[in-house]
Amino acid sequence: MTVTPGAALAEGPDRPFVVAARRLVTCDPSRASAADPLGVVEDAAIVVRGGAIEAVGRREEILRPGSDLEVAIEAAGVVTPGLVDCHTHAPWVGSRDAEYAVRMAGGDYEAIAAAGGGIVASMRAVRAATTDELAGALRARLRRMAALGVTAVEAKSGYGLDEAAERKQLEAVAEAGRDARLPRVVPTYLALHALPPEAGGDRAAYAGAVARSWLPAIAAAGLARYVDAYIDRGAFSVDEARPVLERARALGLGVRVHVGQFADVGGAELAAALGAASADHLEHVAPEGIAALARAGVAAALLPVASFTLRQEPPPVAALRAAGVPLIVGSDANPGTAPTESLPLALALAVRLYGLTVAEAVLGATREAARALGLDGVCGAVRPGLRADLVVWDLPHENAIVQPWGAPRARAVLRDGALIAASG
C-alpha cells in the first residue's frame, strides 16, 4: 500500500481524492449477484469527497485521461467497507480473569453468576468507576477495535444495574462517541441484564422500576438509540421484559434482545412481535421462533466467541438461513463470556464453528450489521452517498479476512474519509 502524505485526510472538504484497489468488495446489493454476493470490483477506484463516497467503479472508468483526481491510497490487497460490530458490551472496566480460569477448568457460568460472580462482579467495578474512567477505557478499546478494521460499534450499558450507574455507562459512551477519530458508536441501554443484590431477587419489581422511571429518564436525556433485555433461563422472562421493551418502543427507541443463550423461553417470538432490530445469541431457538423472526424480518445476531468459551453448540444456522433470517455477526466484547475486542476473530469462528460462508460472514459484519443498527444510510457498503468508511487490508482476498490471524491485518482504516488507524 502506498499513501500520499496528507491526501487521505483531505486538505479541504471539497477536495476529492481516490482510493485505488486491486480488489474491492463493495457489499453493494446493486452490484451483487448469486455468483457474486459481495459485489466485487477488480482494479477499482473510489472517489471520496467531503468524507463521503462520490463514485465507485473500475480504475479505467474513474481515472480517465485528463482527470485531475489524485490517488491518495494505492491498495495492493483487498479493500472492504469498514467492519460494523453489531453487539458489544464495550463500556466496561475491571477484569474477570479469575472467573474465566474457573470456567476453563470446568466451572459452570450460571453457577458462578448465582454465587455473585459474572455480571454482578462487573457491576461492582462499574459502580466504583467514574464516568471519565469508563470513557477512557472505552476510548482505548475503540482504538484497538479500529486497528482491527472496525469503523462502527454498538455499545451497551448493562453493568451498572441501577439508574445512576447505567446512566454513567451511557454518558461514557456519549463522551467517547463524540471523537471522530474513533469508530462511530451506537448506544444501547441494556435495561434488563441481571438483578443487583439490592433487588432482593424480585425481578418483576426491578423491571417495573426500569419501565416506569429509569428508561423514560434515559430516553429523555438522549442517551440511547436502542433498549435491550436479556431473556433467558435464569435471567428475565418474556412477561418481565415485555413492558420494558414496549415502553421503549413508545418512547421512540429501537429494540434488540438477548435471546436463548442457555434456553428457549419464548424470546424470539417476543422479538418478532416487537419488530426488534435483532435477536442476539439464539443458541437455543425452536422452529416456531425462527419462523416468527423470518416473518418479522428480525436479524439473527450470531456471537460465536461466547458460545466458544462456554463450550456451547452453535445456533441452528442452517434453519435460520433456510427461513431467510438475516445473519449478522458480532464480537459480543465483554469481560466474561467473550473477553475479546476482535470482530475478525468472531468472523473466523462464525465460518469455522457456525458454518457461515465467507460472503455471509463479510456481509454479516458490514451491510447487514449496519442495517440492524440503523446505519444502512451511513455505512456498511461502498457505494455513492454513503460515508467513506473503508478498510485497506494487508490481505489478497476477502477469504483471508476470516482466517484466524490473531493479529491486526488492516493496513489503513478510514472513517468519513479520514485515517483513524494505520499499520506498516
CATH number of the domain enclosing 126: 3.20.20.140
What's the pLDDT band for 67 if we cut at 50, 70, 90?
confident
Task: Provide the grid cell at 4.
Answer: 500520499
Same domain, 231 and 352: yes
Same domain, 272 and 403: no
**Vertex 71 angle, CA 65 and 75, to 5°:** 120
Same domain, 321 and 255: yes
Check if the beta carbon of residue 389 is closer than 8 Å to that of residue 377.
Answer: no
Residue 202 above 80 pLDDT?
A: yes
Which pairs count as long-range contacts for 313-316, CB under 8 Å and 24+ apart, including other chains? 313/283, 314/283, 314/353, 314/354, 314/355, 315/260, 315/281, 315/282, 315/283, 315/285, 315/354, 316/282, 316/285, 316/290
Return d(Cα 207, Cα 274) in angstroms, integer. 17
What's the pLDDT band for 2 if we cut at 50, 70, 90?
low
Residue 11 above 60 pLDDT?
A: no
How much is the pLDDT for 1? 62
Of 51-65, 112-126, 330-344, 383-397, the range with the lowest mean pLDDT is 112-126
Residue 322 above 90 pLDDT?
A: yes
Q: Read off the pTM.
A: 0.96
Name the average pLDDT for the chain: 95
Same domain, 264 and 406: no
Of 8-22, 36-50, 176-190, the range with the lowest mean pLDDT is 8-22
**Domain span at 58:** 2-81+380-422
Same domain, 203 and 277: yes
Return d(Cα 345, Cα 189) in angstroms, integer. 25
What's the pLDDT band for 108 if we cut at 50, 70, 90?
confident
245-298 tens-digit pLDDT: 999 999 999 999 999 999 999 999 999 999 999 999 999 999 999 999 999 999
Same domain, 71 and 153: no
Same domain, 101 and 19: no
Check if the beta carbon of residue 284 is closer than 8 Å to that of residue 261.
Answer: yes
Same domain, 157 and 222: yes
Same domain, 200 and 265: yes
Q: Pick from 143, 134, 144: which is nearest to 182 by CA?
A: 143
Residue 7 above 60 pLDDT?
A: no
What's the pLDDT band for 117 if we cut at 50, 70, 90?
confident
How much is the pLDDT for 5? 40
How much is the pLDDT for 13? 61
Same domain, 175 and 214: yes
Same domain, 52 and 72: yes
Q: Name 101's Cβ contacts closer than 8 Å, sequence gap at least 6.
A: none
Check if the beta carbon of residue 199 is closer than 8 Å to that of residue 192.
Answer: no
Residue 12 above 70 pLDDT?
A: no
Q: Total domain count for the chain?
A: 2
Same domain, 207 and 322: yes
Return d(Cα 397, Cα 401) in angstroms, integer. 7
Q: What is the CATH number of the domain that holds 69?
A: 2.30.40.10
Return d(Cα 155, Cα 173) in angstroms, integer. 7
Provide mean pLDDT across the span 3-25: 73
Place of cell 479500529: 146
Provide mean pLDDT across the span 290-308: 98
Angle between helices 163-177 and 131-147 (to 10 degrees): 50
Task: Please tell me which residue, 284 or 117, carries the higher pLDDT value.
Answer: 284
